[in-house]
Structure 1
Amino acid sequence: MNSLTAVFATAALTLTAGIAHARDIGPDEALKLRDTGTIESFEKLNAAALALHPGSKAEDTELEEEYGRYVYQIEVRDAQGVQWDVELDATNAQVLKNQRDD
């Protein structure tokens, strides 16, 4: 019984540790980061994501801090109606992920 408890405790700590490395950035903090030049403007980040899929539209955006890096996440729907998950390094608009959302 003790070894089973230890397994569950280890699993819980591992999951919690993974969650602790990503933090949602609220609107006020996001604007401060943009205004200080820490991250690119949201217009530039949106344009970089939309350029990957011509004719697409932004549906949802989020800014997170992951492992000390600011990541801009945006869901876009292309002209054919396909949804894509795009992640950009918010400091320079470099594409980190461009994956079809199934």
Structure 2
Amino acid sequence: MEYRVRAKFVLKKLPAFYQVLVDGTVANQKPDGAEIVSSMKQAKITGPNTIEWFETCYCPSPLKHERETVYDKYLVEIETNLVEERGAIEGDSFWSFLENHSKT
């Protein structure tokens, strides 16, 4: 099933989030690691500390495993809405923001 997801990010957690996204920690997670990394690369900033993206998930509870293993550690106020198909999300690249915010 396809979901449009909205969540708030916590600025102080972004460097750690970026680290696990780029060092293989998340990408190597089965079965959904690659999907999580891909989703964050496509996510858009749509409001103050708010990102939105589309994600495919077949869990009975939307993004259950993704939230338990990754998202709930770095994001808050996560909302999922079932959609028929992916559309366009307008906004700035979250990945670019994440990368720039995580530089030391």
TM-score between both structures, scaled by the size of structure 1: 0.28
TM-score between both structures, scaled by the size of structure 2: 0.28
The structure showing larger relative contact order (alpha-carbon pairs under 8 Å, at least 6 residues apart) is: 2
Q: Radius of gyration: which is bigger?
A: 1
